[in-house]
Amino acid sequence: MRIIFRLLTVLLTVTVLILIPIITSTNLAYATEATKLSWQVTANDITIVSPAFEIHVSKTGGISSYLFAGMQVQNIGLLIHPHGGGWYFTTTYGTMLKDPIVEQFERGVKIVTFARWDNPDYDMHFDITMEHYVYETGAVIISVLIQTWQDTPSIGFASKIFQLPPDIFKGSSVEGYYGGSLAFSSTIPSEKTWLIGKGFTQVLIITQRTVSIVYVNLDPIVDMEINWPYFIEAKTKFTKNFPVYKGQELKLMFLFWMHDKGEDFNKRLVQLFTKLSDAMAKIEQGKTAFKISMARKSLIKAEESIPEALNAIALADLSKAEELVNNVYNLARRGYLTEVRVRTSIYILIPLAISITLLIWAKIKWTGRLIGAKVKAK
């Protein structure tokens, strides 16, 4: 009996020793798969790391550093130009209102930052809330809300910006696209020059060897220029008015992505964002101009579908993204056509039909009177 008990004990021990590595390795594999992105909150930023890249999001908003394939891009965020000069990055000059919120979503990390600008010398008083959606592909979608809490009449204009170290990016090709066509192209020279390229831009692509930087103006689409004063800088101007009076606000959104997926991938991105931007412009226009209920409903559906389309693009699932972008575009177009068709009916066709009917009635009436008059005359 003792021998049998010992044999059972040995067998159980061996079984446990075999199963533990299997269970442990399974859990580790799942954990690795589920956490391709890891992050750490430091004194100044939130550092997000993956096997391919490292991104530092400032606690006051914007990306202070983006590292990919041995290349670095800096200060991806906002630049404010007050009258009288001075450059102010939110990542440098903003005061943190409260701790950032860090949340994990499927295949990415969301970071929300809260900064206040209170600079009496330049009469600047506004709050900036920035949502950073960092995807495991390296794509980052940034949504910005600027709210003025005290009149800031001295503000000149604001820019979206990122900076490139010259020693790494000299010789890079630069291409700006608008409406699906090439708006401008150039090469970053080996020596400083003020203007490298300029044009109204939806998608900007800078390529150095096998690495591409993709920058997309999602809202609003703006004039963009690349110059080289100290760093190589790509920056924009807003097409919307900056909120200068208390209670005013401005929303904007852009995408930044460093990748090595190749030229064909970039071409598809240009096509997708061109169509999506067109749809977003129709939606924005329709919010104030459209009066027909059916048209407005189509616009609402289109707007609600935008995040899903952007999500598919950022995850590099371009086949799915194409389907979703087409859906957004078709809904926006349907709303536009519905508005035009119904307004045409109300303001042109119906009045025209009434006018024709009245003319026919008047003609019949007049003809009848003439016939009656002739009969009486006889």
- Identify the pLDDT of residue 212: 97
Do residues 82 and 199 both lie within one domain? Answer: yes
Residue with tokens 């919307």: 240
Question: Whole-angstrom Cα distance, residue 319 to residue 309?
Answer: 11
- For residue 23, being part of any structural domain is answered with no
Q: How does pLDDT run across 209-220, given as a tens digit for each residue?
A: 999 999 999 877
- For residue 29, being part of any structural domain is answered with no
CATH number at residue 103: 2.70.98.10
End of a domain among 211, 232, 260?
A: 260
Do residues 226 and 93 both lie within one domain? Answer: yes
Q: What angle do CA 253, 224, 205 make, to 5 degrees?
A: 80
Do residues 255 and 276 both lie within one domain? Answer: no
pLDDT band, residue 5 (cuts 50/70/90) = very low
pTM of the model: 0.80
pLDDT band, residue 238 (cuts 50/70/90) = low
Number of domains within the chain: 2
Do residues 210 and 89 both lie within one domain? Answer: yes
Residue with tokens 């701790």: 99
- Identify the pLDDT of residue 360: 73
Do residues 234 and 275 both lie within one domain? Answer: no
Q: How does pLDDT run across 52-62, given as a tens digit for each residue?
A: 999 999 999 99
Q: How does pLDDT run across 187-197, given as a tens digit for each residue?
A: 999 988 888 99
Comparing 175 with 299, the larger pLDDT belongs to 175
- For residue 115, the enclosing domain spans 35-260
Comparing 80 with 240, the larger pLDDT belongs to 80
- For residue 15, being part of any structural domain is answered with no
- For residue 3, being part of any structural domain is answered with no
pLDDT of residue 347 exceeding 50 = yes
Which of the listed ranges 22-26, 183-187, 283-287, 372-376 does the model predict with the highest average pLDDT? Answer: 183-187
The single-letter code of the amino acid at 308 is E
Do residues 228 and 327 both lie within one domain? Answer: no
Do residues 190 and 293 both lie within one domain? Answer: no
Average pLDDT for 260-277: 96
Q: What is the residue-wise DSSP string for 94-151?
A: -EEEEEEEEEEETTEEEEEEEEEEEEGGGTEEEEEEEEEEEETTS-EEEEEEEEESS-
Do residues 84 and 196 both lie within one domain? Answer: yes
End of a domain among 220, 243, 260?
A: 260
- For residue 365, being part of any structural domain is answered with yes
- For residue 4, being part of any structural domain is answered with no
- For residue 40, being part of any structural domain is answered with yes
Q: What angle do CA 61, 43, 128 make, to 5 degrees?
A: 20
Judged by average pLDDT, the poorest of 88-97, 195-204, 236-245, 310-319 is 236-245
- For residue 240, being part of any structural domain is answered with yes
Do residues 125 and 217 both lie within one domain? Answer: yes
pLDDT band, residue 332 (cuts 50/70/90) = confident
Do residues 227 and 294 both lie within one domain? Answer: no
Do residues 345 and 197 both lie within one domain? Answer: no
Q: CB-based contacts of 186: which residues, under 8 Å, 6+ apart? A: 173, 174, 196, 197, 226
pLDDT of residue 131 exceeding 50 = yes
Percent of the chain with pLDDT over 90: 48
Average pLDDT for 356-369: 66
End of a domain among 209, 226, 260?
A: 260
Percent of the chain with pLDDT over 70: 75
Of the candidates 90, 107, 4, 127, the residue with the CA atom closest to the CA atom of residue 48: 107
Do residues 234 and 282 both lie within one domain? Answer: no
pLDDT of residue 172 exceeding 90 = yes
pLDDT band, residue 10 (cuts 50/70/90) = very low
pLDDT band, residue 237 (cuts 50/70/90) = confident
pLDDT of residue 71 exceeding 50 = yes
pLDDT of residue 22 exceeding 70 = no
- Identify the pLDDT of residue 67: 97
| Residues facing residue 188 across a β-bridge | none
